[in-house]
Chain A
Amino acid sequence: MARSKPSSSKKQPKRGVDFKKIKRKIGRKLPPPKNATNTEIKSKAIILPEQSVASERAGLAVSKKGLTLKELLQQTSHHNAKVRRDALTGIRDLVLKYPAELTLHKLAIIEKLRERISDEDKVVRETLYQLLKLVIFPALKKDVPGSLISLMMAYIFNGMTHLATDIRLMAFKFFDLVVQHYPSSFFMYAEKVLQNYEDILRKNHIYLQDRSKLKNALVGLVRCLSLLPCNRRTVDPSYGKNTETQGSLHAYELEVPKEHTDFSSIIKRLEDILPILVNCFQDFIPLVHPMSSLDAQSFDCMLYLLRSIDLSVKFFLYGIDKHQTDFGVTKPTYNEKDMPVWGEIATPVFLRKFLEVFPLNQLHNTSGKDEDKFFILNIEITEIFLHSNEWIFTSAILMERFLEFIENLLSGKIRFNSRSGKALQEKHLTSLLPFIPRLVSLVANTWKSRLLQAFTMAFKDCKPESTLNLAFLSAIEEMLLPSKRQGILLLDASEPEILDHQITWIRELPVLLVRLGDTLSSLSKVILHLLLRLGQYAPMNSSLAWEYDIMQHTLGEFYSMCLDDGSILYGPFMKLPKDCQELSVCCLYYFSSLDSLLLRSLVYCCLCDNLEPSVLFRIIDVLHSAYKIGHLQLVDLISFFVTLVARWKVLPGRLYTHVENAKKISNRETFKAITGAVCSCLRQMGDDALIFQIVQRVILDEIPLNPPIDNLCGMLRLLVILDSRPTKLSEQSIIILSNSISEYLIDAASYIPENGDEVTDSNQISICQYYLVPCFFLFDRSDKLLNLVLDLMGSSIGEDNSSLACNHDTQHTLDLSSRIVAVVSILLYMHQDIKIRRRLSSCKGEITRILQKMRLQLMQSSNEMGNTLEERHKIQFSFDRLKIAAGQLNCWDADELKIISLFE
């Protein structure tokens, strides 16, 4: 339309002059006509999220770039390296976002990804490595069928034999990754893998330049070899194993066949690989010696090489050991003809050559850091030496060198210079310590003493919180006790020097235990276990057993100590967990004669509120058992028991009144249980009469100290249980007892229910019986005691009466009145008991006297101003009740009754 306009304007002049001609200058732009249409077209790029129009991808899992898994997997085999890499990162995003995709398509993913293991591009390989390491393997940890691994392995092996060294080394890295996540896969492919390692190491000179790569490969080798079985010298003994998992013992067990691996092929490969490792290591030595400094890469390489050698040597040893132990029982894992080849003849030749290089670089004065490195290498070599020691005949000179090194290491003459040196040294010492016992038992006498000297020094210097202690302890256990597996003593304790060292160790143990406190309960447990084993296994009447007995003097501090000012310092025993407490209590059983000092410190622990009752019962049990086999004096045990009963703190507070005092209730119940346990122990001891005499003596010493009512009750129970009828108590003890029993009864009277006829709390009645029954037994057995007690009760009323005259304390009168009430209620309670009633009837004189006293009291109190009416009423009331009861006793003759009524 716009274009038609100018054309129409051209036509018009030809037709006529009706219209004025408008001249336009060329080059000048016309203003747009008013009715012009805006023809501008604005456009924006439309970005489609996907390129394929055909697929419908709503609801599908897509990566950030909108690609599905399928597309990404296709792209991994793209010819462009960049695309491949992007695809791999895309997979990573996708899998992270939708973990379900991975589990669904794991097979497809692995199948595609494995092709990239031998990718030419370094970056792609690296990305794949990261992808597998960070995402895929952790996510698939649980369910990996063997097929997946085998899928991978085909390509990994392919990579291992690739021409490009980079790819080759990377393949080892991939294999390392697989083994890391699925250790069992090593055994499936061990032979082939080791073959490949052998190849690569044989050509090590090619890789000497690129040491970091070689290092990576070696890391993998170390990991693989560490999977091989070897004799693990575990520090942790077999105790503490959890056996509670099984529900029923006879149930059918689903037996999973153990991963059977044929080691013979591995052995052959290792035989080949070991010399190569040694050669490889020796290749490094010329590099090292002339140079003043050792770069980190080659140091690592050397270290890993040494580790590999160490591990393979260990594996061989395991084979020999296993062959010996399996002798005739099961089919040996190795063929007979294999045995000599790798056992004794073939390997040691080059190993001996290899060990000759020790010690590395002592000549050069290098910087501190390098020295550390050489030190570490030396330690590694020493470890190999110690492992192989058992089957290589070494020359004396070399042996000397090693032994000197070990001695220096133990005595701390060689030290690390760097800051982290301390920790490192400890770590390496831990790895060497397990060899000491065996070494000591084998070497010549001069070295034996030197090594033991160094060992003992190092053990003494070791800080209690150090991790080394564990290693020291297990070494000591091995040298002290007959070993668990072989049942023979490693060291001959008859040699005085060895015995000296052993004694030093034993003496150090309780000290260490006390110094540890409760900081490291696991270590304490190991020490206690060692002590227990020592007690169990020390041959009878040997010097070791003697030393064990002596140890109890220092062990007292472990339980508790009585300071000079009388306060008690509790030892670590109180704070340790329960299993440690049990162990330490078990140790007591094995002292051939328990010291009374140790018993005293034990008693302090027992009396402490914080001790758990179950441990307390264990102590009672163990002491009783120790007595039974004659490890404890009868007198000591009885005084222990009586002290326990007399001094145990029962928390005050009435048992029956409050529900909220649950804790107090349990405390009293505990005391009852203790009394019960002690009683049953006393009854099992044998001759009751003899034991009664001892118990009586000890209790009479305890009673004047005015123990609380509960403890007195406990002691009375002990007496009652051992006593017979008629009583065996001596005159003197009856007098002493009567004093305290009268007071005790008045105290206990407060537990008697107010009114016998009413139905009261059954709990209260049982408490009341608990307190009174032992007294009743005593009364039943001894009339004299009853007489004396009644006498004293009577006089106690009288006494207060006399003192009342000069002292107008209201508190006191209240005391007096309640005392009278108490006496009466006791008497009434006794009256209810048929047996005691019979006894009471024989001591009417005393009762009459009490009645008289009360009468007097009543008369007096009527004159007193201080006495309230209520109290008087109370006294009057109880007086009447007693009178009735006395009448019921039916033994008063008319005269006496008259006398009483006269008072009225």
Chain B
Amino acid sequence: MEVVIASSPVDAGIGCWDLHSGAEQLRYRSCTSTPHGLACVGQRFLASSQLRDSSSSSGSILYWSWSKPQVEVKSFPAEPIHPLVSNSDGMYIIGGGSSGAIYFWEVASGRLLKRWHAHYRAVTCLFLSDDESLLVSGAEDGCIRVWSLFMVFDDIGMEMAKNPYEYSFSEHTLRVTDMVSGYGGCNAIIVSASEDRTCKVWSLSRGKLLRSIDFPSIIEAVALDPGEHVFYAGARDGKIYIASINAETTSSNSYGKHIIGTLSDNSKGVTCLAFSKDGILLVSGSEDGTIRVWDAKTHNIVRIYRLAKGPVNNVLVVRRPLYSNRQTSENSHSSFSRRHAPLLPPPLGKYVNSTDENVDSGAVSVPQTPSSDIMDAPYLSYHVLTKQISELQQQSSAATGMEVDRLNLDCKRSVEIVQKWKEMFAYLHKFCVDELLGNDQTQTQ
């Protein structure tokens, strides 16, 4: 089920609507999200960084599971976190702090794997390239930096290299408001919007500015057409401008060079944009608290949702698993251990852990079949595995003996079952053959 989720800086909760039917789903309560501070972690649960008073030194990140409107897990990082992203399978959460640092957490254990100083000013937006090897961060000082995640964890390499980042683009003069990347991993283009009223198109492969487009108003959000022919720029004046990337530009235009049209319905400023997976429906969040769904082909509004009185500052289109009915059916015959397993991972750590634990950082992810229950995703930290191994090793011989007995019993039982099945099969086979032959006989007769 493809759903639109949206949050607001005023406490209106996280709204959730079915994109295609328009039906409102659960509303997740008590969320005052920062811009770009809403993420859906591996389709399993929602996470959002929260606005805090400037007085409080620590930030806060909240988790909601799909099924419950209440906050389930609260974590308090060392400083306020603005943007939040997660990789597609939900292994990691990356957050940008107000001091310019970027935090990298492992979701399953909640450990802070890495914290590094990325910018001179607060980080305003973050995203991962589509192959999830590069992290792109934008900051309040207009600087955009491209990080290779591989390099970030390579401490020796970092020291050797002249600069820790791959590229640093400093052509924007004011705060970067939004960024989006195209397809193609490290060969993609990225489009960035800034408060200096421009959008700039960069090449990740060549590390240079390809185009700079001036807009009549500040652009708050950008979304890239799946074909990368145009990009949509949501402006503070309430219009969504369409700027061409691939078409030859026409010089005479009422808006400016490279801008080929607008989507507009005279609303207040557009704050966020998202494309649906099919690439036709464009979802925009507005300053007036509504969320509009546009048909990008016809430029018409398809649907309007209402979130809050205050502005909307995050809109995401995500695929939500149809777990609810299945969970009930599974719960009826689920194993004892499963019922007690925590649904959501532990809160995120505040500090990078001591060095001895750093040695065995890295998680073991067990690939999951798409049909398996996503809520209990079978991924285990390396720690868990090592713990189990050591437990096994430390157990006394008696315990192992018991274990062996138990296993033997299991084995015997299994063999019996197999035998039963075999008999059953032989019987069925015989039955079927008889039936068929009998039929033939009757026909011939």
Q: Interface on A for B, CB 8 Å cutoff?
A: 238-239, 241, 243-244, 246-251, 325, 484-487, 532-533, 535-540, 582-583, 586, 589-590, 618, 621-622, 625, 629-630, 680, 683-684
Contact = CB atoms under 8 A, between A and B. Distances in A.
Residue from A247, A325, A538 whose CB has the most chain B CB atoms within 10 Å: A247
B164 interface: yes
A680 B268 contact: yes
A250 B228 contact: yes
B212 to A, nearest CB: 6
Interface string B243-263: 011111100000001000000
Given A244-B212, A533-B170, A583-B173, 12 more contacts: A239-B171, A243-B210, A247-B248, A249-B245, A485-B162, A487-B163, A535-B141, A539-B120, A586-B174, A589-B175, A618-B197, A621-B195
Contacts of A244: 211-212, 257
A541 to B, nearest CB: 10
Given A248-B248, A487-B168, A540-B99, A243 B269 contact: no
Residue from A244, A536, A586, A684 whose CB has the most chain B CB atoms within 10 Å: A536
Interface string B204-215: 000001111000
Ranked nearest first, the 6 interchain pairs of A and B with the lowest CB-CB distance are A536-B141, A586-B173, A487-B163, A247-B248, A248-B246, A250-B246
Nearest to B248: A247
B39 interface: no
A247 B249 contact: yes
A537 B197 CA distance: 21
A536 B170 contact: yes
B211 A485 contact: no
A246 B211 contact: yes
A592 to B, nearest CB: 11
B269 A485 contact: no
B218 A621 contact: yes
Contacts of A484: 168, 170
B106 interface: no
Residue from B121, B122, B143, B247 whose CB has the most chain A CB atoms within 10 Å: B121
A536 B197 CA distance: 17
Nearest to A247: B248
A243 B189 contact: no
A589 B99 CA distance: 17
20 contacts: A247-B248, A247-B249, A248-B247, A249-B189, A485-B162, A535-B141, A536-B121, A539-B120, A540-B99, A582-B173, A582-B196, A586-B196, A621-B195, A621-B218, A625-B175, A625-B195, A625-B218, A629-B140, A683-B287, A684-B269
Q: Label chain B's interface by main secondary structure.
A: loop
A53 to B, nearest CB: 63
A321 B417 CA distance: 73
A577 to B, nearest CB: 16
A618 B216 CA distance: 10
A244 B196 CA distance: 18
Contacts of B121: 536, 540
Contacts of B195: 589, 621-622, 625
Interface in B271-303: 287
Contacts of A241: 209
B162 A487 contact: yes
Contact of A536 (B122, B143, B162, B209): B143
Interface of B: 54, 99, 120-122, 140-143, 162-165, 168, 170-171, 173-175, 189, 195-197, 201, 209-212, 218, 228, 236-237, 244-249, 257, 268-269, 287, 311
Contacts of A486: 162-163
Residue from B174, B218, B244 whose CB has the most chain A CB atoms within 10 Å: B174
Contacts of A540: 99, 120-121
A629 B80 CA distance: 14
A239 B171 CA distance: 7
A250 B245 contact: yes
A487 B210 contact: no
Given A250-B245, A485-B162, A625-B174, A537 B211 contact: no
B413 to A, nearest CB: 58
A630 B54 contact: yes
B248 A629 contact: no
A243 B246 contact: no
Contacts of A246: 210-211
Contacts of B120: 536-540
B271 to A, nearest CB: 10
Contacts of A238: 171
A532 B143 CA distance: 12
Given A621-B197, A625-B174, A680-B268, A590 B210 contact: no
Given A536-B142, A621-B218, A622-B174, A249 B163 contact: no
A734 B199 CA distance: 46
A487 B164 contact: yes
A622 B173 CA distance: 11
B158 to A, nearest CB: 11
Residue from B54, B209, B236, B245 whose CB has the most chain A CB atoms within 10 Å: B236
Contacts of B246: 248-251
A625 B197 CA distance: 12
Nearest to A481: B120
Contact of A590 (B99, B141, B170, B287): B141
A622 B236 CA distance: 13
A484 B207 CA distance: 14
Given A247-B248, A532-B173, A622-B174, A680 B211 contact: no
B285 to A, nearest CB: 14
Contacts of B249: 247
A8 to B, nearest CB: 105
Residue from B163, B201, B209, B248 whose CB has the most chain A CB atoms within 10 Å: B163
Contacts of B212: 243-244
A629 B142 CA distance: 14
Contacts of B165: 487
A576 to B, nearest CB: 16
A241 B211 CA distance: 10
Contacts of B237: 680
Contacts of A618: 197
B163 A243 contact: no
A484 B236 CA distance: 32
Contacts of B248: 247-248
